[in-house]
Structure formats: C-alpha cells, structure tokens
Amino acid sequence: MSFIFLIKLFRMIELINISKIYQLDGGNFTALDKINLRIKEGELIAITGPSGCGKSTLMHIIGLLDTPTIGKVIINGRNIQDLTDNEISALRNVYAGFVFQQFNLINKLNVLENILLPTQYSRQKKTFIAKDRALDLMDRFGIKEKAQSYPNKLSGGQQQRVAITRALINKPKIILADEPTGNLDSKTGTKILDILIELNKKDNLTILIVTHDKEIALRFPRIIQMFDGKIVKA
C-alpha cells in the first residue's frame, strides 16, 4: 500500500516516448517528438520555448485535453490509453484545472456560475459544498463581491482570478496554465504568478505553466525547455 502510494507520489504523471503528429496536406507535421517526462506531486514547473515549439500541445496532453499519436501517458499509475473518452473526461474534471491566456470564461454565465461549472460535470461524490468552497476561494483571491457580475464587466486580472478559482473548485491535483499572464499588464501578471506560486507553496498543489517569457520561467524551480517538439533541457 505505502509502496504504491510512494510510486504515485513520485510519478504522478509519466509521459513515455510520446509523439504528436498532425497529418497536413503537404505531409506530416511533428508537434511533439519522442518526449519522456515525469512530474511529481507538488512540483512547480515552467515549460518554455519559442512559439510553435510544442509546449501548449505538451500541456494539453498532460491535461488530458489531447492524446499523443504515439507513446504512453500514465496518470497515477493508470495508462490513459485504457480509458474511454467518458472516463478521460471524468478524470480531467477532478484531476486537472486549466488557466488560459484568454481566460476562457463563459460570458453568458456570471462569475459564480462560471466557477461552479466544473462541479456540474463531476461524477464523484463531492466532499465539499461547492458553493461554500467557491465563496471561500473567491474571498481568498479578492473577487467575492464580483460573484454576480458577468465576465465582460471585469478587468483582465479579475477574470484570470475567476479562471484560477474555477480551476481549483474540484480540488485538482494539478493546475495547468497556458501563458496565464499573456493578456495582462506586467504588474497584474506578477500578481497572478504570485497566486499560482503561493498555491504551490501553501497547498502543495502541482503547478505547470507554459510561457515563452524567460523572466517568468526563472521564477520556477523546474524549467522544461523545448525546441522543435523536443525537450532540450528538463
């Protein structure tokens, strides 16, 4: 029991020899080329590299939004290839929280409804009262009074805090943030990064961000550098 637990602890996510190949009219395009990667629980990681190097694709595969063309993705000891699409959706729902550059909030839902959206799709029995948890988190990130507001009435920084709250609502194991500061001014961006780093320190949450900004990457203890679909430095 404790042995399996230890394996899980040290190998929360394991990518074995994965490639992502897109078939285009003019031939194949290899977005990811034989990547091997292990991520342990509680890590604070930045994936960095020039645009088009495959860092977002890698993040999508880690977050179960996409599947590799070749290779194995193992999450908590389970091979994703063995799961149905429904099982992958259910796993994504509780295991990963996404934060995007464009915030990706649903404009017709208010802030609280946006934050509660992932709980709609939960199939597991919740150990918390969703609305109470949402309000607590909103309080923590200073957006509690915006609960009934609509996303397009909020500043970029506020929208990204809503997105982070939404990512946290189902108590995920990992937060995946794709250029989370890309649409924010540097001051606001720094604050958002502070929040993510604090979540790692205080809550021991695994945080993985994708950024092309080396300065931002330097704040992260583990930096995965990519170039042309390959990891050049892990």
Partner 1 sequence: MEYFRLILLSSLDDFRRNKLRTFLTSLGIMIGVSSVILLIALGLGLKKYIKLQFEGLGVNIAIVMPGNIFNNGNIQPGRNVGGIKFDQKDVQSIKTVAGIKNLAPTYIKTVAVKTGGNSQIGDLYATNEEIFPMRNLELAKGSYYSKSDVAKSSKKVVLGPKIAEKLFTDIDNAEGKSIKIENLNFKVVGVLKEKGGGGFGGPDFDSFIYVPYKAVLSLNPDKKFSVINFQVTEESEMDKIKKAVEEKLLRRYEKDDFSIVEQEEIQNTVTMIFSVLNSVLIAIGGISLIVGGIGIMNIMYVSIIERYQEIGIRRALGATKNNILLLFLSEAVLLSLTGGVLGLLLSYLTVLIIRIYFPAYLDVIAVLVALTTSSLIGIIFGVLPAKNAASLSPVEAIRYE
The nearest distance, CB 166 to partner 1, in angstroms, is 7
Q: Edge-to-edge strand order for the sheet containing 174-178?
A: 96-99, 174-178, 206-211, 44-48, 222-227, 230-233
Instruction: Please report, as residue ranges, which positions from 188 to 217 form the binding site for partner 1 (by CB under 8 A).
Output: none
User: Helix, strand, or coil here: 47?
Assistant: strand
Instruction: Please report, as residue ranges, which positions from 33 to 72 form the binding site for partner 1 (by CB under 8 A).
Output: 60, 63, 65-66
The nearest distance, CB 10 to partner 1, in angstroms, is 26
- The reply to whether 170 sits near partner 1 by the rule CB under 8 A is yes
The nearest distance, CB 192 to partner 1, in angstroms, is 19
Looking at residue 27, its amino acid is G
Size of the site for partner 1 (CB under 8 A): 24
Whole-Å CA distances, 234 to 30, 39, 46, 58, 101: 20, 11, 10, 13, 23
65/74 with CB nearer partner 1: 65
The nearest distance, CB 3 to partner 1, in angstroms, is 30
- Spatial separation of the C-alpha atoms in residues 65 and 95, rounded to whole Å: 12
Instruction: Please report, as residue ranges, which positions from 80 to 139 form the binding site for partner 1 (by CB under 8 A).
Output: 85-86, 89-90, 92-94, 98, 100, 104-106, 108, 117-118, 120-122
Largest interatomic CA distance in the chain: 53
- Spatial separation of the C-alpha atoms in residues 63 and 172, rounded to whole Å: 11
The nearest distance, CB 186 to partner 1, in angstroms, is 25
For residues 111, 112, 118, 119, the Cα torsion angle rounded to the nearest 10 degrees is 180
- Spatial separation of the C-alpha atoms in residues 28 and 22, rounded to whole Å: 6
- The reply to whether 166 sits near partner 1 by the rule CB under 8 A is yes
Looking at residue 191, its amino acid is K
- The reply to whether 153 sits near partner 1 by the rule CB under 8 A is no
Q: Which residues bind partner 1 (CB under 8 A)?
A: 60, 63, 65-66, 85-86, 89-90, 92-94, 98, 100, 104-106, 108, 117-118, 120-122, 166, 170
